[in-house]
Chain A
């Protein structure tokens, strides 16, 4: 059942558009793919992996996200009590932690607008030209789920509200670089964590590209997938998201529990800190 075929047909079944076969499904019985369509184009994707199908020019084509994104989401292994469950989930026995492809909008001119949640690249809105098979633009995503756009605004659903942004608003801080240095996600300093979450929300609200930098636990080797899995687990517990990288050559960065830095060479600011102190270093925010 985990590798079923799916068919796209009219309600009577008389007119068939095509069939597709996911390489895997995280929920074998009820597959979790999503379908998005416009007048002349439709796409099918699985939120937990990096491939999708696009129906264009009379054929269903399979595409994959570029290698800059992870091929599949990280997750936790399930602890099977029942042999039947073990059998059912034997191919993919894990619970996914996040959605790699969060949503897709279809644009004119064969462009897919994908909202991506990636531990390699952070949360981004990606414009993908299907004909040229390349990404033409990426924008740091505001909080929430991209639900639509018109000629003026992009619409996001977040905190039980619809929020709209112009492209200019979303891109105005795109040349900034902002880093959260976290020495431990088990931070005992509550005021540090509160300050971090305030700044995290503020940075996202202003579409400032940001990432999490975590001290490399291995020192003499590169971080492996398990290290990323652990960090992603902590991020999920804290309900935060962003690109993750490990760093082992910056002693100052990890002196306090949580610190931030604007730009590559900016001053390292230990938390707790006032947002005004951060804002004064980011000219794109009025």
Chain B
């Protein structure tokens, strides 16, 4: 068994003793991508456990996260990250360079990559509860 310790870089570089709490870890190619929910960052980790890129901070702007439920998926080489509090869908390339942030009107339950396309999982709301702005 090989143990790969990592992530201590976070505490020292950001001046905080708290370790990142990783949420929603996904594997893509030779790397892992995860959301550090206590730091509002998306991080890239190689198979040796080293952090090779990271991006994001707390906020509502492009490339920022408010810390709500976060969902992530890759479509091709593009990483999509949905932030449930901001209702924002942010895309990054594999090096975590920001491509764009879109703000949605609807809440997504999850993201799904399938046959090269991005799909969303949403709750079906009965028509009587749908407001005009959401139609």
Contacts and interface: CB of A to CB of B under 8 A. Distances in A.
Nearest to B113: A37
Size category of the binding interface on chain A: 35 or more
A59 interface: no
B45 interface: yes
Contacts of A35: 110-112, 121
Size category of the binding interface on chain B: 35 or more
A147 B114 CA distance: 19
Interface in A123-169: 142, 145, 147-150, 153, 155, 157, 160-165, 169
A42 to B, nearest CB: 5
Contacts of A10: 117-120
A135 to B, nearest CB: 23
A17 B47 CA distance: 33
A9 B122 contact: yes
A8 interface: yes
Contacts of B32: 147-148, 155, 162
Dominant secondary structure of chain A at its interface with chain B = strand
A30 B109 CA distance: 8
A33 B22 contact: no
A7 B4 contact: no
Contacts of B25: 145, 147-148, 157
A96 B96 CA distance: 36
Contacts of B127: none
B122 A155 contact: no
B14 interface: no
18 contacts: A4-B124, A6-B109, A6-B122, A6-B123, A8-B112, A9-B122, A10-B118, A11-B119, A19-B124, A35-B111, A35-B121, A39-B114, A42-B114, A145-B25, A161-B3, A162-B6, A164-B1, A169-B1
